[in-house]
Amino acid sequence: MQLIHRTPVMDRFRESATMNNKKLRIAAIAGDGIGLEVLPEGVRVVQAAAARHGLELEFEYFEWASCDYYLKHGKMMPDDWFEQLKGFDSIFFGAVGWPEKVPAHISLWGS
């Protein structure tokens, strides 16, 4: 039984990555609340699926885009967030928002 539905897009992505011996780089940002719990488990699932399909992954973890980061730095993300993320193949994001710490209009919309 095959649990993962294969699509032509997935096949092309895998072929491209394996033909180029490319390690896929993924930015992992847990964010807030349940994101802190689900991101590590989600990474385990993605790693297992990648291993099954012959893909090599490299995760880099970021602590910003969280209310804790906001409380320390006065902003949700560093000014160079785009520069830090643009070289990644993917971004794995947990969750954002913790109204008891930071109002939603700040954590979600930055205003």
46: domain CATH number is: 3.40.50
Q: How confident is the model at residue 1 (pLDDT cuts 50, 70, 90)?
A: very low
DSSP three-state, residue 97: coil
| Domain contains 42 | yes
| Domain contains 17 | no
Residue 20 DSSP one-character state: T
| Domain contains 9 | no
Whole-angstrom Cα distance, residue 13 to residue 49? 14
Q: How confident is the model at residue 53 (pLDDT cuts 50, 70, 90)?
A: confident
DSSP three-state, residue 81: helix
| Domain contains 92 | yes
For residues 33-61, give the mean pLDDT. Answer: 94
Whole-angstrom Cα distance, residue 33 to residue 16? 36
Query: Residue 67 is encoded by which pair of tokens?
Result: 């209310």
Judge contact between 37 and 100, C-beta under 8 A: no
| Domain contains 8 | no
pLDDT over 90 percentage in the chain: 66
| Domain contains 39 | yes
Please count the structural domains in the chain: 1
* Residues 4-14: tens digit of each pLDDT: 566 665 666 66
pLDDT over 70 percentage in the chain: 80
Q: Which domain holds residue 61?
A: 22-107
Give the HSE-up count for residue 60: Cα atoms under 13 Å, Cβ half-sphere.
14
| Domain contains 47 | yes
Whole-angstrom Cα distance, residue 67 to residue 70? 5
